[in-house]
C-alpha cells in the first residue's frame, strides 16, 4: 500500500461519522438526503411553474407580448453559459472522485467564473427591463404595441413580468447560493479535505448545481420562447 493510500484512508476514517457502519452507507445516505432536498426544491419551484401555467392559459396573448420583450440572444447565451458550467462542475466532481484535488479546484474555479458570468448577463437583462418600466409595481408601464391584438390588458402583461422576476429572481438566488457552496469546496479542497474515499460534499454540491441548471432549462423556453412567431 502506497503512503498516499494510507493518507486517503486516514482522511476517510476521520470523515466517517460514528452512526454509519461504513463509508458506503454514509455516502448513500448523504446522497439520498441531497436528492430528498432536491425533491422539495422541485415542489418549491413547482408552485411558481403552476402559477405560470394557470395565468398563461388565461392570458395567453398578454404573455406572448411580455415574452417578446425578452432579449433572446442574452437568454440563449445564458443557457449556454449554464450548460458549460454544468460540464465543468461534472468534471470537477469526477476529478475529486479520482483523487486529483488540484484539477478539481481549477474546474470548480471555472464553474464559479461561469456562474458569475450568468449573473452578470442576467443583471444586464434586469437593467434593461427596469429601464423600460417592465418591473411590476407603480412604475410598471406597457404599451400593447401589437395592433393585431389591441385587446390585451397591460395588467395581464404585468402578471407575466411578476412571474418573470419571481422565477428568474429565485433562480438567480439559487445561483448565488451555488457559487457560495462551490467556493466553500474550493477552500476545503485546497486544505486537502477530499480524497477518492471521501468526496460526498463535492458530489452533493454538484447535484445542487445541476439542479439549478435544470430549472433554467425549463425557464428559458417558458419565458423567452413562448412565441417569437407573433413578433414584429
Partner 1 sequence: MQGTTESVGHIIPAKLYVAIWAILMAMTLTTVLVSFVDIGPFNIVVALVIATIKATLVVLFFMHLRYSPKLTMATVVAAMFFLFLLLGLTMTDYLTRAWLTNPGY
Q: What separation, in Å, do the N-terminal and C-terminal C-alpha atoms of the chain show?
A: 70
**E strands, 132-231, in order:** none
Supply the minimum distance, in Å, between the C-beta of residue 133 and partner 1: 25
Q: Residue written as cell 439559487? A: 174
In DSSP terms, 195 is beta-bridged to: 198
Which is nearer to partner 1, 56 or 135 (by Cβ)?
Answer: 56
For 135, what's the count of Cα atoms within 13 Å in the CB-facing half-sphere?
10
Residue from the set 4, 7, 14, 28 that interacts with partner 1 by CB under 8 A? 28
- Binding of partner 1 by 42 (CB under 8 A): yes
Supply the minimum distance, in Å, between the C-beta of residue 166 and partner 1: 17
Which cell goes with 114?
461561469
> Could you tell me if 145 and 212 are in contact, meaning their C-beta atoms sit under 8 angstroms apart?
no
- Binding of partner 1 by 86 (CB under 8 A): yes
- Binding of partner 1 by 72 (CB under 8 A): yes
- Binding of partner 1 by 18 (CB under 8 A): no
Supply the minimum distance, in Å, between the C-beta of residue 132 and partner 1: 21
- Of 99, 92, 66, the C-alpha closest to 168 is 66
Output b/e per residue, 190-216; b: 16+ Cβ within 10 A. Answer: eeebbbebbbbbbbbbbbbbbbbbbbb
Residue from the set 108, 159, 186, 226 that interacts with partner 1 by CB under 8 A? 226
Contacting positions for partner 1 (CB under 8 A) = 9, 12-13, 21-28, 31-32, 35-36, 38-39, 42-43, 46-47, 49-50, 53-54, 57-58, 72, 76, 79-80, 83-84, 86-87, 89-91, 94, 97-98, 196-199, 203, 206-207, 210-211, 213-214, 217-218, 220-222, 224-229
Amino acid at each position: 500500500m502506497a503512503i498516499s493510500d494510507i493518507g486517503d484512508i486516514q482522511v476517510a476514517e476521520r470523515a466517517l461519522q460514528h452512526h454509519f457502519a461504513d463509508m458506503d452507507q454514509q455516502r448513500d445516505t448523504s446522497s439520498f438526503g441531497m436528492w430528498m432536498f432536491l425533491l422539495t426544491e422541485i415542489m418549491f419551484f413547482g408552485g411558481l411553474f403552476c402559477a405560470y401555467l394557470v395565468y398563461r392559459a388565461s392570458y395567453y396573448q398578454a404573455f406572448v407580448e411580455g415574452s417578446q420583450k425578452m432579449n433572446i440572444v442574452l437568454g440563449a447565451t445564458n443557457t449556454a453559459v449554464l450548460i458549460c458550467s454544468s460540464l465543468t462542475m461534472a468534471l470537477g466532481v469526477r476529478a475529486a472522485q479520482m483523487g486529483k484535488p488540484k484539477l478539481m479546484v481549477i474546474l470548480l474555479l471555472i464553474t464559479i467564473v461561469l456562474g458569475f458570468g450568468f449573473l452578470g448577463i442576467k443583471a444586464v437583462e434586469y437593467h434593461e427591463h427596469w429601464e423600460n418600466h417592465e418591473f411590476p409595481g407603480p412604475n410598471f408601464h406597457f404599451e400593447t404595441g401589437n395592433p393585431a391584438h389591441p385587446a390585451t390588458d397591460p395588467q395581464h402583461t404585468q402578471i407575466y413580468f411578476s412571474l418573470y422576476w419571481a422565477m428568474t429572481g429565485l433562480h438567480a438566488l439559487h445561483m448565488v447560493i451555488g457559487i457560495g457552496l462551490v467556493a466553500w469546496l474550493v477552500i476545503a479542497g485546497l486544505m486537502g479535505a477530499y480524497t477518492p474515499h471521501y468526496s460526498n460534499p463535492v458530489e452533493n454540491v454538484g447535484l445542487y448545481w445541476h439542479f439549478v441548471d435544470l430549472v433554467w432549462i425549463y425557464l428559458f423556453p417558458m419565458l423567452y420562447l413562448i412565441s417569437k412567431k407573433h413578433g414584429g
